[in-house]
Chains A and B, each alone.
Chain A
Amino acid sequence: MRLLVVDDDPEIRHVVRVALEAAGFEVELATDGAAAIDRARARPPDGIVLDLLLPDVGGEAAYDRLRSLPGMADVPVVFLTGKAGRERRATLLEKGAAGVIDKPFDPLTLAEEIGRLTGRPAGGS
């Protein structure tokens, strides 16, 4: 179970990686939308954790591009958002996101939450 984690914030990347790896996920990191697309194109992940506020393209635009890559139409994508609010959250779910997790989040339950949202618990394939 390999997850691509996309966030421009080094502290968030760190805690997400630590939390997910501790739970047995394999984690690949990207700092912006362009890097995420490169990674996903080179090696499609089993799931994506995507920050909504990316410096280059914005999380939603990155989402659209990731989705349009070959083999990526059904890969579960969980958004991490700073302050999406219900409005934005509803829109993201309408777009087909698997879930939306607010920052700040609890690192101790993050992996479980992501496993639940993506329907792919750690260790499974």
Chain B
Amino acid sequence: MDELKSWYREQLAARIDALEAAEEALRANGIAEARGTIQRIAHSLRGSGATYGFPRITESAAELEDASDPDLSARLSDLLQVLRDVHRHGETTPLGVLLIDDDPEVDRILSHHLASESREIHVARTAKEAEQILANEEIDLVVLDLVLPDTDGRNLLMRLRERPSTASLPVIVLSVKGTALAKSECFALGADEFFEKPFDADTFATAVAAKLQRSRETTRESRRDPLTGLPNRAAFHEAFERWRALARRRNEPLSIGFIDLDRFKGVNDAYGHTAGDEVLRQAARIVSASLRQSDLVARWGGEEFVVLFPNTGSEGALRALEKARHRFREHGFVAARSPFQLTFSAGVAPVLPDDEVDAAVARADYYLYLAKSAGRDRVVSDHADPPRPRRRILIAEDDELVARFVGHRLSEEGFEIVHCADGGSAARTIAANGSDPGISLVILDVLLPEIDGFELLRRIRGSSAMGSVPVIVLTVMGSEEDIVRGLSLGADDYVVKPFSPTELLARVHRLLEKRR
């Protein structure tokens, strides 16, 4: 594996060259010219990075590949930075420590105590040397002796604090004993720690380690996903740890949901990435708005979102996501002036007390996979679904085209369709249904041969088995009195022809939800 790793690091030189050329092209010729090349290389590195044991390359390349136009240049320079790091040092960027002291003996001792594989120690004997190193190297922490040959260490400290790039860099000041004034002065100037020589090397090393840790944390990227404004994956990881610990302590359930937009690639293909980005933004908003304030929604990557449901079992999480799913599928998206609709699939699983994030996500992902395989647009959880018989819908419609079209869409949704082309046969079906409430919803045309829709509606409402089954009436444009008559006879909803099947479906779902 090590051989593979170093072989791969060598190959990176060519990738860096290619990306630098692309960066140049991006500057000179604009995004349209450069985007293809950049994405191709990013895609390739995304696949190979972690394969060779360099996950940071995969992460950074993924961000570049998925970047929207305005972010492209920034993500590109991020990836280049990572590639240069790995090419030079291997996976982890060493933390840079700058030691500014003119005494070679002190330098030797401190370098020895601070040395670690994850650190690179730079030594400067003068303020001037220190400035040079700061300009050219990545420095995460400075150790500064107050007495320097070319200047007072306090001047250097002041200069560091005035410069934005070094203003928050941790600085540990070293001084000789008995200079109490210097100590308070240094703190006033922005020193983070103050050590008087001679000092205990172990205490010093501990202080350096703590400061370095903080330094790295504060320089970490923002915790928000720039596109959707949702917490990003890193933020989710942290929240997950916290909530899992809390759930364990309080002995409360915790559930996780994993959402993937259905056929999202089609949106990008049909309307371009800008429209795709807009869809992701709206999706983030709709999903967040449908859930409780206490539920945490984060962007996992691409068109995937992950949700944590505190103090909620997977059954409750499933219900919450079902609600979000309905909101989402009813939302009208518009791109290039054409309206379209989208659905999502989701998986729900409980978070177990000893779960790592990845294990919990993988479990939810498994149920998401089942949801996708079962035809998408659904939420699946570990919680066994209560055995629900396939729901039957009676369509009483003499226009065969309408009946077929609606029937087709409904059966795609998993409903069983009973079609009657005239009022007579519909009435017989209802009568035959007897006390068996096998039909969960009726869609009927008011204009039917033999027995018209109104009469049919009267019989439905009068029957014991079907008295409370939801009924949607279909009327034609301009016949408002039919609507009024239908509703007064007990119809739950109406749809005016010509209608979009999606609209009808939405109503069917709404009525059935209500009855549940």
CB-defined contacts of A80 to chain B, threshold 8 Å: 47
Judged by a CB distance under 8 angstroms, whether A121 is at the interface is no
Residues of chain B at the chain A interface (Cβ within 8 Å) = 1, 4, 7-8, 11, 43-44, 46-52, 55, 58, 62, 260, 262-263, 265, 302, 368-369, 372-373
Known: A87-B372, A90-B373. Is A12-B260 also a contact (CB below 8 A)?
no
Picked from A10, A85, A86, A105, the residue with its CB within 8 Å of the CB of B51 is: A105
Picked from A14, A53, A85, A105, the residue with its CB within 8 Å of the CB of B43 is: A53
B47 near A15 with CB under 8 A, answer no
CB-defined contacts of B52 to chain A, threshold 8 Å: 11, 15, 107
Instruction: Provide a sorted-by-A list of 28 A–B residue pairs whose CB atoms are within 8 angstroms.
Output: A9-B48, A10-B11, A11-B52, A12-B44, A12-B47, A15-B8, A15-B48, A15-B52, A18-B4, A82-B43, A83-B46, A85-B302, A86-B260, A86-B368, A86-B369, A86-B372, A87-B262, A103-B51, A104-B47, A104-B48, A104-B49, A104-B50, A104-B51, A105-B51, A107-B1, A107-B4, A107-B52, A108-B1
Size of interface on A: residues with Cβ below 8 Å to B = 21
B11 near A11 with CB under 8 A, answer yes
A82 near B4 with CB under 8 A, answer no
Main secondary structure on B side of the interface with A: helix
- Kindly report which residue of chain B lies nearest to residue A106, judged by CB atoms: B51
B372 near A103 with CB under 8 A, answer no
A11 near B48 with CB under 8 A, answer yes
B372 near A90 with CB under 8 A, answer yes
Main secondary structure on A side of the interface with B: helix
Q: Identify 12 new A-B residue pairs, CB closer than 8 A, beyond the known A12-B44, A86-B373, A107-B4.
A: A9-B48, A12-B47, A12-B51, A14-B7, A15-B48, A15-B52, A82-B43, A83-B46, A86-B260, A87-B262, A87-B372, A104-B46
A9 near B260 with CB under 8 A, answer no
A58 to chain B, nearest CB (A): 14
A20 to chain B, nearest CB (A): 13
A10 to chain B, nearest CB (A): 7
A111 to chain B, nearest CB (A): 13
A59 to chain B, nearest CB (A): 13
B47 near A85 with CB under 8 A, answer no
